Amino acid sequence: MLTKYMFAMRSVFRKFICACMLLQFNQPLQAQDFKFTDNSKKQSLHFNSVKNLIIIPVYINGKGPYDFVLDTGVGPMIITDPSIIDSLNFAKMRKIKVSGLALESVEAFVSQNVTAKIGRAQMPHVPTAILKEDLFNLSGHLGIKIYGLIGYSFFSSFVVDIRYTEKRIIFTDNDENVKFKGSKIPIVIENLKPYVYADVEVPDSGKIRAKLLMDTGASHALSMEMFNGDMFPLPFSRIKAGLGMSLSGQIKGYLGRIKEFSIGEFDFKDVITGFPDYHVISQKIDLRSRNGNLGADLLKKFNIQFNYKEGFMYVRPNSNFKIPFEHD
């Protein structure tokens, strides 16, 4: 089973769900922030790495810790197990129906009455999407109980330094002086998610400048979804593959290698890449604003300092950098 690429389409599912739920919040998410509850200015926090994903402990409404995925690809916090919230009254919450990508219509709820705490940093009234069932089945596929995903609210509150090889994050107040190390690369925050430009070789077309969603919540290295308004050209050597599951069945596509891929000053060869069926996913998701998705199997080759506020990141190669790309 192509385990890493099963997460590629789960990543697409949660982006679609997040887009639906983002429209339901009255207050702008940009106004929300995590703050240290003491006089701290920064903190180091160890994380658990499972299938390239970053798993961190999060306290919800004073209880926990609960394991959440730290995911740059989500805006509102997503709780996939509503049992962690005491006295949850769904009758008083706004209910929405979510469907798409062969998902049957399912119920979801939105709330801003959730408090989250990560380390010594806390945020009241976190914009939160609460699912009545785990659409992503992250617990089943990761082999540990996962209670949700958290992204933009945390990343926008701090300069976040992800050190994959050390399995820890260091988060620092945006107003503090931070010593940046490595190569500086611009990022663009759109709809609460970070995008980066990279050079990607296209079969029979040379290299293009591709716009990619940076996605720490996707286990794969690279997923290429669109080129010139159609499916991304497939490499000559490829195999048909099931890239993910929806509630109604398998999302199909191809698996191959991008011969050359460059981000900033760093070059990679033979990057294993998923090519989902554009004609299926484009019916439900607007892919015109991006070419693909840059996942954790490539991101983990760097230690990364994200600065959402200023619109850049610094990347430093780590000991994973020269490890060849392989699939499970």
Q: What pLDDT, in 10s, does the model give residues 26-68?
A: 545 545 699 999 999 999 999 999 999 999 999 999 999 999 9
Q: Which domains does the chain have, with CATH numbers?
A: 3-173 (2.40.70.10), 183-317 (2.40.70.10)
Q: Is the pLDDT score of 1 beyond 80?
A: no
Supply the pTM of this predicted model: 0.89
Q: What pLDDT, in 10s, does the model give residues 59-112?
A: 999 999 999 999 999 888 999 888 887 656 655 677 776 654 444 556 778 888
Alpha helices (runs of H) in the chain, residue ranges in sequence order? 3-22, 138-142, 152-155, 278-281, 296-299
Mean pLDDT of the chain: 85
Mean pLDDT of 223-245: 87
pLDDT of 18: 59
Phi, psi of 319 (to 5 degrees): -70, -10
DSSP class per residue in 124-173 = SS--EEEESS-SS-HHHHHSS---EEE-HHHHTTEEEEEETTTTEEEEEE
pLDDT of 50: 96
Q: Is the pLDDT score of 247 beyond 90?
A: no
Mean pLDDT of 153-174: 97
Whether 121 and 35 have beta carbons less than 8 Å apart is answered as yes
- For residues 50, 277, 24, 247, the Cα torsion angle rounded to the nearest 10 degrees is -70
pLDDT of 250: 61
Instruction: Of 242, 297, 324, give the one whose Cα is nearest residue 275.
Output: 242
Mean pLDDT of 120-148: 87
Q: Is 152 left (phi over 0), alpha (psi -120 to 50) or beta?
A: alpha
